[in-house]
Amino acid sequence: MLSNQSCENITSIEANGNPGTSTVMFIAGVVGNLIALAILGVHQKDRRTKSSVFCILVTGLALTDLLGTCLLSPPVFICYAYRTSLVGLTGDQRLCGLFAFAMTFFILASMLILCAMAVERCLAISHPYFYSKHVRRSFAKIVLLLIYLFTFVFCLMPFFGYGRHKQYCPGTWCFIKMEVEEGDDEERRSLAFSLSYAVLMALLIAIVFMCNGSVIVSLCRMHRSQLTRRGSVVSAGRKRRLSTWFGQGEEEMDHLLLLASMTLIFVICSLPLTICGFENAISPVGNDQRNLTAFRFSAFNPILDPWIFIIFRKAVFHHIRALFRCCFPREAVKTTAQSSQELKAEDIKHSSSIQSKIYHSLPQ
């Protein structure tokens, strides 16, 4: 395995290099994001209404991920085709610097958009009164613009001496130089930028985790309160009402499963690169194989996001629930009617009305 120092300036890659992984990731990313954009477009056309804040953010995320995949993958394919590294293609660091800028930009922009989506969902579900009164469609457009501007300026810093870019093994990708070296002020500025990037990613991961966790807790409470309301009605039709739980609570469970899945995958994909940023900052010798693995984990996030959005659509859940109703008897849901506490009726009614509008704004 090549060391970081030998990979930084190499002009060729190993003859047995396999572009299979990059090809599969490219196809999955392009197809997934195109399908997600098509679903969003059809949804807006069918509803004949303006897109919600959530849908605008999802569209921005899909476009960002699609553009990043289409810009970053071709140079990798060219490197494998000519058995030449990014540095070797141009004979200097220009292409490597542009590749590293694009990579840091799209990774950070996607994470910031996911963070904005998490905050939006937290306000919409956990604080519906505040959300309905203060959050408008223009909020999403302004947030997207600010995200792109901030990310662009932040990722430009290495070109002005605050941070450095570096080619990593096997020579098909460049990123921020994360290793610490004994040196002058330039090395210290490089280390400061690398740590700033790692701290920012760690902060975004924490915000997304906390916001989505808050939403999941709110949805669970709302679901329990609805079960309590249904279970409190003692009548001849009680059994029939309990058996229709899958139909009545589908919106809450759809969103709960979507949020749980997105949060889990986001944390799994983002943590390795963040950890590498901190480890390389305190270690004099980096590990390019570990860095490459962390990068691939991070690259999987924009690939998996649209597929999660596609798979966890409500229309798909209708078929899944139909299958569950065939496999499990209706009596299996009887025990779910017990709960310890019931929310106030007026608050539940108002909150459910606002949340229902938010849910129905999502693509089916």
Q: What is the pLDDT of residue 101?
A: 92
The yes-or-no verdict on residue 216 having pLDDT over 60 is: yes
Q: Assess whether pLDDT exceeds 50 at residue 243.
A: no
Mean pLDDT of 211-232: 72
Give yes or no for residue 198 having a pLDDT over 80.
Answer: yes
- The answer to whether residue 170 scores a pLDDT higher than 50 is yes
The answer to whether the CB of 147 falls within 8 A of the CB of 113 is yes
Domains, the chain, ranges and CATH? 4-360 (1.20.1070.10)
For residues 200 and 153, give the distance between their C-alpha atoms in angstroms, rounded to a whole number. 14
pLDDT of residue 90: 80
- What is the average pLDDT across 29-37? 82
pTM attached to this predicted model: 0.75
**Residue 174 and residue 99 in contact, taking contact as beta carbons nearer than 8 Å:** yes
Contact 96, 167 (CB under 8 A): yes
What DSSP designation does 40 have?
Answer: H
pLDDT of 214: 82
pLDDT of residue 363: 55
Instruction: Assess contact for 363 and 315: CB atoms under 8 A.
Output: no
Instruction: Give me the pLDDT at residue 2, please.
Output: 46
Radius of gyration of the chain (CA): 24
Which has the minimum average pLDDT: 114-118, 242-246, 353-357?
242-246
pLDDT (0 to 100) of residue 146? 94
pLDDT range class, residue 152, cuts 50, 70, 90: very high
Residue 150 binned pLDDT confidence (cut-offs 50, 70, 90)? very high
- State which amino acid sits at residue 262: M
pLDDT attached to residue 343: 41
pLDDT tens sequence across 289-335: 777 788 878 878 778 877 776 766 665 556 556 666 666 555 544 44
Which CA distances in Å does 243 have to 22, 175, 219, 239? 47, 54, 20, 6
- Residue pointed to by tokens 């990593």: 168
Burial track 112-125 (b if 16+ CB lie within 10 A, e otherwise): bbbbbbbbbbbbbb
pLDDT digits (tens, 9 = 90+) for 262-280: 778 878 888 888 888 777 7
Tokens of 106: 């799209």
Identify whether the C-beta of residue 169 lies closer than 8 Å to the C-beta of residue 286. no
Residue 348 pairs with which residues in a beta bridge? none
> At a CB cut-off of 8 Å and minimum separation 6, what does 83 contact?
12, 13, 15, 17
176's enclosing H/E stretch is strand 173-176
pLDDT of residue 323: 63
**241 against 148, higher pLDDT:** 148
Eight-class DSSP state of 73: H
Mean pLDDT of 230-245: 48
Question: Would you state the structure tokens that stand for residue 136, as one six-digit string?
Answer: 């408008």
